[in-house]
Amino acid sequence: MIENLFVGLVHFPVYNRNHKIVATSITNIDLHDISRSCKTFGVKKFFIINPQKSQKEIFMRLKKFWQTDFAKEYNINRFDAFEIMEFYHDIKSVKFWIKNNYKKNPIIISTSARKCEDNVNFSEVKNRIQESIPKLILFGTGYGLSDELIKNCDINLSPIIGEKNYNHLSVRSAIAIILDRLISNYK
C-alpha cells in the first residue's frame, strides 16, 4: 500500500489546443470518475485545482449534493468517493495543506502525454513512491500541464505509450491507468 498519496487535477496552468496557457472548466464526469479511481487505489485526497470562483461554486453544489442522505442512499459508492475530494485555487495551497497535515513537503510528480528529457519510467517511480513522504501526482486538463509547471516538479513521469502515434487519452483514463501502474501488485 502506498502511504500519503494525493492526486491533483490541474485546470491552470494548462494548454489549450493552440498551445496557449488557459484555465479550463471542471466537468461533472471527471469529478465522478476520477474520485472513484482515487478511492479505489487508496488516494488520501483528490484535489480539484482551479483558480476560477465560478468553478468552485459549481464544485461545491455537486459535492454538497453527493454528501446528502438521498445521495448516500442512491449511490453509496459515489457518496464515499466524493468524501476525499477538495477544491483549491492553486497548487501552492495544496502543497501547503499537505505540509500542514503531514508535516513534510510533498514530492511533486507531473504527468504528461508529451515526452520530457528527464522522464522517469513507471517502475522507478513506483519504487520511489513507496516512501512515507507525501506524494502529489499532478494531472493536467485541456492539452496538459504547462512546460513551466512540469519543470518545477520533482519527478516527471513518462507518458503512457499506446499503439502507433496516437496519444490523447482523457484525463480520467490516464489517471486510472497511472494509478493502476503505480499501485497494483500483479502476480
Place of cell 513518462: 158
* CB burial readout 86-117, b (16+ within 10 A) else e: bbbbebeebbebbeeebeeebbbbbbbbeebe
User: What CATH class has 5-183?
Assistant: alpha beta
Cα–Cα distance, 185 to 134 (Å, whole number)? 20
**All structural domains of the chain with their residue ranges:** 5-183
Cα–Cα distance, 116 to 118 (Å, whole number)? 5
Residue-level pLDDT at 187 = 46
pLDDT mean values, one per 10 residues, the chain (187 residues):
89 97 96 95 97 97 90 84 95 98 96 91 91 94 96 96 83 97 80
Residue-level pLDDT at 16 = 97
Residue-level pLDDT at 78 = 83
DSSP label of 46:
E
* CB burial readout 134-147, b (16+ within 10 A) else e: bbbbbbbbbbbbbe
Contact 85, 63 (CB under 8 A): yes
Contact 170, 33 (CB under 8 A): no
Give me the amino acid identity at 92: K
pTM: 0.94
